[in-house]
Amino acid sequence: MSELIHTCYRVLDVDRSVAFYEKLGMEELRRMPIRDEAINVFMGFPGDGPRLELTHNFDQSEPYEVGTGYGHIAFTVDDLDAALARLAEEGIEPESAPYTVREGGSRLCFVRDPDGYRVELIERG
């Protein structure tokens, strides 16, 4: 039986990316050097395993192209307004104001991480 264990992003600044995902409730679980070429940082939620691998290639100085096939990853948050306030402290604003897809549905919005990857924030409840 197979299991999806993590997603990997290539990032330009590991510490900046770690700080972004920490604001969404993740924590750094470990750093794994890859020879002299790169470093992988594994992020996860408390009590869970690594769910996001951030890879920084030391020879990369230009932003990566996200591509047209990538959509987004999604996080649930207890309080969408509080999550957006934490991100705003870092200069990260939502693409648009929070909204619902249908009447009675959860509030949601999209932000972009420091490398331009879209992240959907969905309020629980």
Cβ proximity of 17 and 11 under 8 Å: yes
Amino acid at residue number 97: A
The percent of residues in the chain predicted with pLDDT above 90, rounded, is 76
Assess whether pLDDT exceeds 90 at residue 70.
no
CATH number of 70-125: 3.10.180.10
pTM, entire model: 0.84
C-alpha triplet 71, 3, 80: angle, nearest 5°: 45
How crowded is residue 76: how many other Cβ atoms within 10 Å of its Cβ? 16
Examine the residue annotation and report whether 120 is marked as an active-site residue of this protein: yes
Q: Which fold has domain 1-63?
A: 2,3-Dihydroxybiphenyl 1,2-Dioxygenase; domain 1 (3.10.180)
Residue of 22, 27, 120, 123 with catalytic role = 120
3-state secondary structure of 80: helix
Per-residue pLDDT reduced to its tens digit, 44-65: 999 999 999 999 999 998 888 8
Domain coordinates of the chain in residue numbers?
Answer: 1-63, 70-125
Per-residue pLDDT reduced to its tens digit, 90-121: 899 999 999 998 888 899 999 999 999 999 99
Output the CA torsion 75→97→94→119 (10° steps).
Answer: 30
